[in-house]
Amino acid sequence: YLLQKNGVPYQEFRKNTMITGIWDDHDFGVNDGGKEYAFKKESKLLMLDFLDVPRDGDVWKHEGGYQSYTFGQDGKKIKLILLDSRYFRDALQPSKKEGFRYEINEEGDILGEDQWTWLKNELIQSEADFHIIANGIQIIPEEQGFEKWANFPKARTRLLNLIAETKPKNPLLLSGDRHIAEYSRIKSNHLDLPEITSSGLTHTWGEERVEPNKYRIGNLIVSLNFGLLYIDWSKPSIRFEIRDQNNNIRLSNTLW
């Protein structure tokens, strides 16, 4: 964190840009880790200090790193919800099935009851025009064999049902972790929910390979990448771009 914060390019970026976020496993402190990690409380303090979260923020008062921000004025509001999918997540067991790292935890949870209650209130009480829900791991894809919400099907169903029931305006999921980028979307009679996965800035798979995802729209991007969101309040609409290390657009779509 200190090396990053003391880097000249990052210092210049911080001068002109608000920076916030939520951890994934290596920020949390252990690869693919969950609630069993012994130093999760210390990791939370380091993360919040790195992000310069004000000491009077609610996130300092509860367990876990989840928090939310609302930007803009009436009629042009964006709500950013940062979910903590590490601090309370139940354990995963290694899988013997080829191509799969973990067994499915049928009854396991990811968010913990306090965070579930908080999230429901955040969605019910929101007057925002767009809702960006971000966390470390993929929510919609089911078929890949690594970390994902689908390893905890009860929790995944609960999240999708909560979004369908509370009906936040224009919900969008953001995720990372995978060292690839892709656009997934669930569409049903009760739910229309896109997810943008973007990662990473420093390394990716390094070679193309086939990975099924029945919810994917467009190509799977296997290159260094970062994501951008553009909001056009005249419609209103929101568009995403995935750009590579040379700033070339590799994937884009208008979501709403």
What is the token pair recorded at 125? 């009480």
Averaged pLDDT of the chain = 96
Which of 185, 192, 170, 196 has the alpha carbon at shortest distance from 76?
170
Answer yes or no: are the C-beta atoms of 152 and 109 closer than 8 Å.
Answer: yes
Task: Name the helix (H) or strand (E) containing 241.
Answer: strand 237-244
Answer yes or no: are the C-beta atoms of 183 and 196 closer than 8 Å.
Answer: yes
Mean pLDDT is lowest, of 13-17, 166-170, 204-208, for: 204-208
What is the token pair recorded at 167? 């009906």
Query: How confident is the model at residue 208, as a pLDDT?
Result: 86
- In this prediction, residues 204-225 reach a mean pLDDT of 94
Which is it for strands 78-82 and 130-134: parallel, antiparallel or unpaired? parallel
pTM above 0.85, yes or no: yes
In this predicted structure, the answer to whether residue 230 has a pLDDT above a threshold of 90 is yes
Query: 3-state DSSP call for residue 183?
Result: strand
pLDDT band (50, 70, 90) for residue 200:
confident
Backbone dihedral angles phi then psi of residue 244, each to the nearest 5 degrees:
-95, -175
What is the token pair recorded at 253? 């779509």
- In this prediction, residues 65-89 reach a mean pLDDT of 97
Rounded CA gap, 145 and 202, in Å? 22
- In this prediction, residues 237-256 reach a mean pLDDT of 96
- In this prediction, residues 131-141 reach a mean pLDDT of 98
User: Which class for 64: exposed (0-12), middle (13-18), buried (19 or more C-beta within 10 A)?
Assistant: buried
pLDDT, tens digit, 9 for 90 and up, residues 19-70: 999 999 999 999 999 999 999 999 999 999 999 999 999 999 999 999 999 9
> Which ranges of the chain would DSSP assign to H, the alpha helix?
2-6, 8-16, 25-28, 40-50, 113-124, 153-166
Share of the chain above pLDDT 90, in %: 96
Give exposure, 169-181, as e/b (b: 16+ Cβ within 10 Å).
ebbbbbbbbbbbb
Which of 23, 133, 125 has the alpha carbon at shortest distance from 82?
133
